[in-house]
Structure 1
Amino acid sequence: MTALWTRTAAVEATKGQIVGDNWSAYGISIDSRKIKTGDIFIALPGKRVDGHQFVISALNLGASAALVSHIPNGLDNAPLLIVKDVLKALKDLAHFARARSNARIVAVTGSVGKTGTKEMLARTLGADGKTIASVGNLNNHIGAPMSLASLPADCDFAVFELGMNHSNEIRPLAQMIAPHVTIITNVELVHTEFFNSIEDIADSKAEIMEGLLPGGIAVLNADNSSFVRLRKRAQALCIDQIATFGRGAACDIRGIKIEPFSDGTKVIASVAGKEISWTVGCIGLHWGLNSLGVIAVLHALGLSIIPLLKQLSVFSPLRGRGNQVMITTIDNGIALLIDESYSASPKSMRAALSVFAATRGKRKIVVLGDMLELGNITSIAHANLKNTIDDIKPELIYLCGDGMSHLREALGRDRITLWTKTANALVESVVNNVTDGDVVLVKGAFAMGMQKIVSALEKKRNIL
Structure 2
Amino acid sequence: MTEDLWTAHEVEAAVSGRRIGEWRVSGVSIDTRTLSPGDLFVALRDIRDGHDFVDTAFSAGAAACLVSRDVGRPGLISGDVLEALVQLGSASRRRMSGVCAAVTGSVGKTSVKEMIARIFRAHGRSHWSDKSFNNHWGVPLTLARMPRDTQRAIFEIGMSTPGEIAPRSRLVRPHIAMITCIAPAHLEGLGSVDAVAGEKSDIFAGLEPDGVVILPERDSFFETLRRRAFDLQPSAEVLTFGGDPGVHSAGVRDYDSDGARSLIRLEVLGAVVETELLAVGEHWAANAALAVLAAVASGIDARSAAQALSGYSPPPGRGTAETLQLATGDPITLVDDSYNANPQSMRAAFSGLARRPGRKVAVLGEMRELGEESAEWHSGLAEPLIAAGVSVVILSGGEMRHLAARLIREAPSIEVRMTHGPEEAAATMNSLLLSGDVVLIKGSNASGMGKVATILRAIDKGVDQDASSGRIADAL
Q: Write the deviation string for residues 210-248 of structure 1: whole angstroms up to 9, x where unpaired.
A: 111111111111111111111111222303411111223
Cα distance in 2 for residues equivalent to 1:270 and 1:23: 50
Cα distance in 1 for residues equivalent to 2:82 and 2:273: 46
Q: Tell me which residue corresponds to 1:307.
A: 304
Contact 1:370/1:445 (CA < 8 Å) preserved in 2? yes
Contact 1:399/1:419 (CA < 8 Å) preserved in 2? yes
Using the size of structure 1 for normalisation, the TM-score is 0.94
Q: Tell me which residue corresponds to 2:26.
A: 26
Question: C-alpha displacement at 1:321, in angstroms?
Answer: 0.1
Matched residue type, 1:85: D
Cα distance in 2 for residues equivalent to 1:282 and 1:239: 37
Equivalent residue for 2:192, pick from 185, 189, 197:
197
Q: Tell me which residue corresponds to 1:228.
A: 223
Residue 244 of structure 2 is aligned to residue 248 of structure 1: yes
Contact 1:218/1:239 (CA < 8 Å) preserved in 2? no
Residue 373 of structure 2 is aligned to residue 372 of structure 1: no
Matched residue type, 2:363: V
Q: Tell me which residue corresponds to 2:338.
A: 341
Cα distance in 1 for residues equivalent to 2:394 and 2:25: 48
Mean CA deviation greater in 411-420 or 445-454: 411-420
Cα distance in 2 for residues equivalent to 1:376 and 1:13: 45
Question: C-alpha displacement at 1:16, in angstroms?
Answer: 2.3
Q: Secondary structure at the match of 2:188?
A: coil
Residue 111 of structure 2 is aligned to residue 116 of structure 1: yes
Q: Tell me which residue corresponds to 1:396.
A: 392
Contact 1:281/1:312 (CA < 8 Å) preserved in 2? no
Cα distance in 1 for residues equivalent to 2:356 and 2:441: 14
Map 1:18-417 to 2 at 5 A.
18-20=19-21, 22-46=22-46, 48-72=47-71, 76=72, 78-237=73-232, 238-248=234-244, 252-361=249-358, 363-412=359-408, 416-417=415-416
Cα distance in 1 for residues equivalent to 2:387 and 2:327: 28
Question: C-alpha displacement at 1:260, in angstroms?
Answer: 3.1
Cα distance in 1 for residues equivalent to 2:397 and 2:281: 27
Structure 1 residue runs without a partner (length 5+): none
Mean CA deviation greater in 307-316 or 89-98: 307-316
Q: Write the deviation string for residues 119-159 of structure 1: whole angstroms up to 9, x where unpaired.
A: 01000111111111000110011110011111110111110
Q: Write the deviation string for residues 278-327 of structure 1: whole angstroms up to 9, x where unpaired.
A: 22332110010111111221222232121222222111001000000111
Contact 2:96/2:150 (CA < 8 Å) preserved in 1? yes
Q: Tell me which residue corresponds to 1:436.
A: 435
Question: C-alpha displacement at 1:15, in angstroms?
Answer: 3.5
Contact 1:341/1:443 (CA < 8 Å) preserved in 2? yes
Matched residue type, 2:265: I
Matched residue type, 2:34: K
Cα distance in 2 for residues equivalent to 1:283 and 1:18: 52
Q: Write the deviation string for residues 176-211 of structure 1: whole angstroms up to 9, x where unpaired.
A: 111111111111111111223222111111111111
Q: Secondary structure at the match of 1:33?
A: coil
Contact 1:330/1:431 (CA < 8 Å) preserved in 2? no
CA root-mean-square deviation: 1.7
Question: C-alpha displacement at 1:102, in angstroms?
Answer: 1.0
Matched residue type, 1:255: V
Cα distance in 2 for residues equivalent to 1:392 and 1:424: 25
Question: C-alpha displacement at 1:341, in angstroms?
Answer: 0.6
Structure 2 residue runs without a partner (length 5+): 466-471
Q: Tell me which residue corresponds to 1:8.
A: 9
Which runs of at least 4 in structure 1 moved beyond 6 Å after TM superposition? none
Q: Write the deviation string for residues 373-394 of structure 1: whole angstroms up to 9, x where unpaired.
A: 1001211111111122223343
Cα distance in 2 for residues equivalent to 1:403 and 1:260: 33
Q: Secondary structure at the match of 2:314?
A: coil
Contact 2:209/2:236 (CA < 8 Å) preserved in 1? no
Aligned residues: 457
Q: Write the deviation string for residues 402-434 of structure 1: whole angstroms up to 9, x where unpaired.
A: 111111111229855532222122222323443
Q: Secondary structure at the match of 1:98?
A: helix
Going from structure 1 to structure 2, the CA distance change for 1:419 and 1:253 (only over 3 Å counts) comes to: same
Q: Secondary structure at the match of 2:189?
A: coil
Q: Write the deviation string for residues 63-115 of structure 1: whole angstroms up to 9, x where unpaired.
A: 2221100124xxx2x22311111001000110110111112100101111111
Cα distance in 2 for residues equivalent to 1:64 and 1:173: 28
Mean CA deviation greater in 320-329 or 264-273: 264-273
Question: C-alpha displacement at 1:52, in angstroms?
Answer: 0.9
Matched residue type, 1:2: E
Matched residue type, 1:181: I
Matched residue type, 1:185: T
Question: C-alpha displacement at 1:267, in angstroms?
Answer: 2.3
Using the size of structure 2 for normalisation, the TM-score is 0.92
Q: Secondary structure at the match of 2:187?
A: coil
Cα distance in 1 for residues equivalent to 2:271 and 2:74: 57
Cα distance in 2 for residues equivalent to 1:241 and 1:392: 39
Matched residue type, 1:12: A
Mean CA deviation greater in 334-343 or 363-372: 363-372
Question: C-alpha displacement at 1:258, in angstroms?
Answer: 2.6
Cα distance in 1 for residues equivalent to 2:334 and 2:422: 16
Cα distance in 2 for residues equivalent to 1:199 and 1:145: 28
Map 1:444-459 to 2 at 5 A.
444-459=443-458
Cα distance in 2 for residues equivalent to 1:129 and 1:141: 28
Contact 2:28/2:40 (CA < 8 Å) preserved in 1? yes
Cα distance in 1 for residues equivalent to 2:296 and 2:314: 23
Cα distance in 1 for residues equivalent to 2:391 and 2:231: 52
Mean CA deviation greater in 189-198 or 265-274: 265-274
Q: Secondary structure at the match of 1:34?
A: coil
Q: Secondary structure at the match of 2:208?
A: coil
Q: Secondary structure at the match of 1:442?
A: strand
Cα distance in 1 for residues equivalent to 2:320 and 2:239: 30
